[in-house]
Amino acid sequence: MAQTQFDILIIGGGIVGLSTAYKLNLHHPQLKICVLEKEEKVSMHQTGRNSGVLHSGIYYKPGSYKAKNCVEGRREMVAFAKEHKIGHDICGKLIVATHERELAHLEKVFNHGLQNGVEDIRMVDAAVIKEIEPFCVGIKAIHVGCTGIIDFVGVCEVLEKIITEKFAGSEVKLQHEVLDFEKSQDYTTVVTNRGKITTKYIVNCSGLQSDRIAKKDLVDPDMKIVGFRGDYYELTPASTHKVKHLIYPVPDPQFPFLGVHFTRMINHATECGPNAVFVFKREGYGKTDFSLRDTADALTYGGTWKLFFKHWQFGLDEYRRAFSKRLFLERLRRMIPSLTMEDIVPGRAGVRAMALDRDGNMIDDFKIVHSHNSLHVLNAPSPAATAGLAIGKAVNDMAEKHFKL
């Protein structure tokens, strides 16, 4: 038998992969753990390109992994940020109904928050909305006092430092892309672009590539990752006074997206967005980015077409807004009517890994599966960044059970 270089190898240097390594080493400091990241630094994709919001846990179905891990993970993430002096601000947010037809779902979201144990939430009327956000117009809203913003990239950089400096034998290897696995009875040889690495166990936390990594490990993911790009605009410096905290619409219950919203960022900018459009490249952040492999992968999957047919009107509207500043502004003006074309400028973009089943349904909850000597985090959408430390603990618990640590 070949000598095992690492006890556990984690694929993916985003917040879920790094949190998993951190939690595994925290509970098992004797283990040699390796995190492989294909980019030149950690948190380059979903972690570093989301809105930086610490979600409360109010949206999610009571009893779901999302609900439990978000509430627990947020509290732990805030404590972690305080301990390590990572930029964050518990500034609160409003979830705003602008039409009577939204009130029933607003009430449902509020009740979910109560059932999920989310602290510091209250229903407010139009007058209180104005007190909290003077430029916002709505008929009713939920004020969520425990929501905040955070530097998730900073969190990952601290986790990387702890893993490499505190735990002897553990490493974070950058610019190491996983190409294949060579399986043996008691260990696996991971083939990368920079050579081979042996390990007893594998944990796949590769986000946008999670289904492909699972297949390389001969695991049927029973789903497909399809990318959806989210484009953002930013408020100009002269108009940032129009948003003091975070302002969200009532989410459409048919979709897992939270809608176009306003986020006061940790760097003092204010983002507006995102939309949600199908991408022709999984890691394509430009509007015209294209990958033949990624496009063929998505469009030869029956679930993708079933999703399109079910929600073609939504998809068409999102695409129109992606290429029209005027239409994007119209959506923003539902909550802040005084915004003008001069108030917003194009910002950055991110890509969300959407897990679709064969019937075109979006898999809403976290999905983690176990194989012989591997665990695969196949679906970890928002609020995975907020819940990162809690997800890491959950994976540690599964590893203890399945790997008999």
Dump pLDDT digits (tens) for 166-196. Answer: 999 999 999 999 999 999 988 999 999 999 9
Please, are residues 377 and 13 in contact by the beta-carbon 8 Å criterion?
no
Name the fold adopted by 224-362: D-Amino Acid Oxidase; Chain A, domain 2 (3.30.9)
What does the domain layout of the chain look like in residue ranges? 6-47+153-223+364-402, 224-362
Give the pLDDT confidence of 78-111 residue by residue, as tens digits.
999 999 999 999 999 999 999 999 999 999 999 9
Task: Render pLDDT for 354-396 as a digit per residue (tens, 0 to 9).
Answer: 999 999 999 989 999 999 899 999 999 999 999 999 999 999 9
Q: Which CATH class is domain 6-47+153-223+364-402?
A: alpha beta
pLDDT above 90: residue 65: yes
Mean pLDDT for the stretch of residues 325-351: 96
pLDDT at 296 over 60: yes
- H helix intervals, 300-366: 302-310, 312-322, 325-332
- Residue 109's φ and ψ, nearest 5 degrees, are -60, -45
Angstrom distance (rounded) from CA 103 to CA 397: 40
Calculate the CA 134 to chain-centre distance: 30
Residue type, 35: V
Q: According to the model, what pLDDT value does residue 4 have? A: 66
Cα atoms in the Cβ-side hemisphere of radius 13 Å centred on 54 = 31
pTM for the whole thing?
A: 0.95
Q: Which residue reads 């034998």 in tokens? A: 169
Average pLDDT, the chain: 95
pLDDT of residue 314: 85
Query: Which of 155, 147, 150 shows the shortest CA–CA distance to 14?
Result: 155
- Concatenate the DSSP letters of all residues of 189-247 into one string: EEEETTEEEEEEEEEE--GGGHHHHHHHTT---SSEEEEEEEEEEEE-GGGGGG-SSEE
